[in-house]
A and B are shown apart, each in its own frame.
Chain A
Amino acid sequence: MKKFFIYAIAIVAAIMTFTPFLWMLSASFMPTGAANTYPPKLFPDQIDFSHYKNLFTRLNLTRYLINSTIISLGVTAFSLLLNSMAGYAFAKFRFKKKKSLFQFLLSSMIIPGQVTMLPVFLILKNMGLINTYWAILVPAMASIFGIFLIRQYAFSIPDSLIEAAKMDGATELQVYLKVILPLCKPILVTLGLFTFMGTWNDFLWPLIVMTDMNMYTLPVALSNLMSEHVQDTELMMAGSVITILPVLIVFLALQKYYIKGIMMGSVKE
């Protein structure tokens, strides 16, 4: 009896969680107007691909998909490199004020990102980077959270490995490339996944720095599309499916790493 109850709750909750996705997918295949009927349909009477076709031909979605992909991959690549170098240095290098410098960085994480947005916009504007990929790439190249995550992980690497490599004549850079990076692979996947998905899903910053339609990322394009096509429910659902699908696939492929990242991020010092 108790078991039945628990299953009932779990299944109802799962249905409630999943229904918006199901409806989104289903409505995206309905002919124009079919999603605006009463009672609402959960499944299309006939499959209609025209909204997807429209998005990619008439509405330039290919361009936004490319923008989002380049930006997300670019941010991930740059920030993995810079954060892993800094995280490793904070874990293993010996220098004065290391601990207080790191504590200072950590404590500054309480400052919400919105505070910096106007000045960063003005800096990028002066550099002529507004409406270029760099407007998103450059400020995101290093993050305190990323450095923190790598540092936590790099602590677990035994000093003896590093010392041994140095005995063999390896420079700091060689140690990093040949010893540290391979050992840090799991955390790099985790951080890369967080960064990729975070950048892909981000809305406020791309909305601010990409004012030229050709530079829109998918979320910005989608939000803009809605202002003109708010009545085209089916078209908007198709756009949502395409925006969500890439992150969903990446997540499903690497979910183990994502869950680990949540756990690491929530471990206190």
Chain B
Amino acid sequence: MKSNTKFSALILFLGPSLVVIFVFFFLPVIAAFMMSFTDFDIYSLGNLNYLRFVGLNNYEKLLNDPLFWKALKNTFYFVIVGGPLSVATSLGAAILLNSKLIKYKGIFRLVYFLPVVTTLVAVSIVWRYFYHPRFGMLNYILGFLGLGPFDWLGDPNLSMPAIIILAVWKNFGYNMIIFIAGLQNISEDLYEAASIEGATAWQQFRHITIPQLAPTTLFISVITMIGYFQLFAEPYVMTQGGPLNSTLSIVLYMYQEGFRWWNIGYSTAIAFALFVIILIGTLIQFRLQKESE
């Protein structure tokens, strides 16, 4: 019978990190939850005596706040269009690099992966110029195809697509790596058996690759969705939420309310709304996955 580890060793090894996680994560979660029921603002920041409990007021205000709804709508647009587009691009790239016909896989993989490791703020700035209506490289290239010129970041209908394109470019390499590993785990026998029976490439993709990758796809969809709900730096750097609030995201709105106007109570309510949305989104994805099995 092996004995338990000594208490002093537990304190030494687990103490520091658990204290940090408690003080800077769990305690703030509880505090934020409580603050979301108060009118904590710039005055209470100076003197806590001004702090009042306001019940569900912040959440009520949220439901009647057109800017919040706008931010919510924009964020959903980004998640629902950008998320699947990202995942599909990653899968496409993974299938491409998993092909036996292609050489120099290492180089291609490296190039596709580069945007992932670069600083989001820096590449957002680069893309801002890339999207320039008159001098931007993108419009120049599209010009050859007879398209444009587009005012990518100045047109409220194009601003979110522009941010989605940047996000797909920035992120697809990450999930591509996970998909490649998933593809390599699929047994060759399945494909051989299918081609003996005369299945086309598309049929093989549809009936072998997709079902076999389902757990990987679920994982990727969930982490992509969670990450995309937290959209912030791209609109902050490229559009400041504009034009006409067309790229205002939930986190950007939370940041503005909390750290620009110091409406702390209201801002924490926005943060909790985000949490609830992410939670529901995750549960829905798991449910959908289960139903399709």
Give residues 213-229 of A contacting B (CB, 8 Å).
218-220, 222-223, 226
A14 x B129 contact (CB < 8 A): no
B96 x A236 contact (CB < 8 A): no
- Most chain-A Cβ atoms within 10 A of its Cβ — which of B16, B110, B274? B16
Give residues 69-104 of A contacting B (CB, 8 Å).
82-83, 85-86, 88-90, 93-96
A110-B282, A114-B271 as given contacts; A94 in contact with B118, CB under 8 Å: no
B125 x A112 contact (CB < 8 A): no
A10 x B96 contact (CB < 8 A): yes
Looking at chain A's contact residues, the main secondary structure is: helix
Shortest CB distance A97–B (Å) = 11
In the complex, besides A114-B271, A118-B259, 4 extra interface pairs with C-beta distance below 8 angstroms are A17-B169, A115-B275, A243-B119, A244-B123
Does A6 make an interface contact (CB < 8 A)? yes
Residues of A contacting B115 in the complex (Cβ-Cβ under 8 angstroms): 17, 20
Residues of A contacting B284 in the complex (Cβ-Cβ under 8 angstroms): none
Shortest CB distance B104–A (Å) = 9
Residues of A contacting B14 in the complex (Cβ-Cβ under 8 angstroms): 85-86, 89-90, 93
6 residue pairs from A and B, CB less than 8 Å apart: A13-B96, A21-B114, A38-B134, A110-B279, A112-B229, A240-B125
Does B20 make an interface contact (CB < 8 A)? yes
Does B152 make an interface contact (CB < 8 A)? no
Give residues 195-245 of B contacting A (CB, 8 Å).
215-216, 219-220, 226, 229-230, 232-233, 236-237
B6 x A172 contact (CB < 8 A): yes
> Which residue of the partner chain, among B13, B21, B140, B259, contacts A93 with CB atoms under 8 Å?
B13
> Which residue of the partner chain, among A9, A27, A39, A118, contacts B140 with CB atoms under 8 Å?
A39
A17 x B112 contact (CB < 8 A): yes
A110-B279, A263-B178 as given contacts; A117 in contact with B24, CB under 8 Å: no
A117-B271, A118-B32 as given contacts; A18 in contact with B111, CB under 8 Å: yes
CA distance A219 to B120 in the complex (A): 8
- Most chain-B Cβ atoms within 10 A of its Cβ — which of A18, A172, A200? A172
Chain A, interface residues (CB within 8 Å), range? 35 or more
Shortest CB distance B243–A (Å) = 15
CA distance A27 to B177 in the complex (A): 31
Q: Which residues of B come within 8 Å of A, CB atoms?
A: 2-6, 9-10, 12-14, 16-18, 20-21, 23-29, 31-32, 35, 93, 96-97, 99, 101-102, 108, 110-115, 117-123, 125-130, 132, 134-137, 140, 169, 173-174, 177-178, 181, 215-216, 219-220, 226, 229-230, 232-233, 236-237, 251, 254-255, 258-259, 264, 267-268, 271-272, 274-275, 278-279, 282
A20-B126, A218-B119, A240-B125 as given contacts; A138 in contact with B20, CB under 8 Å: yes
CA distance A38 to B236 in the complex (A): 27
A115-B271, A118-B264 as given contacts; A258 in contact with B117, CB under 8 Å: yes
CA distance A220 to B258 in the complex (A): 18
> Which residue of the partner chain, among B5, B10, B24, contacts A120 with CB atoms under 8 Å?
B24
Does A37 make an interface contact (CB < 8 A)? yes
Q: Which residue of A lies closest to B30 (CB)?
A: A119
A112 x B111 contact (CB < 8 A): no
> Which residue of the partner chain, among B135, B233, B267, contacts A40 with CB atoms under 8 Å?
B135
CA distance A27 to B129 in the complex (A): 10
CA distance A86 to B16 in the complex (A): 8
Shortest CB distance A21–B (Å) = 7
* A197-238 vs B, Cβ < 8 Å mask (1 yes, 0 no): 100110110001000000000111011001000000100110
* A108-149 vs B, Cβ < 8 Å mask (1 yes, 0 no): 101111111111111100000000000000110111100100
CA distance A24 to B136 in the complex (A): 12
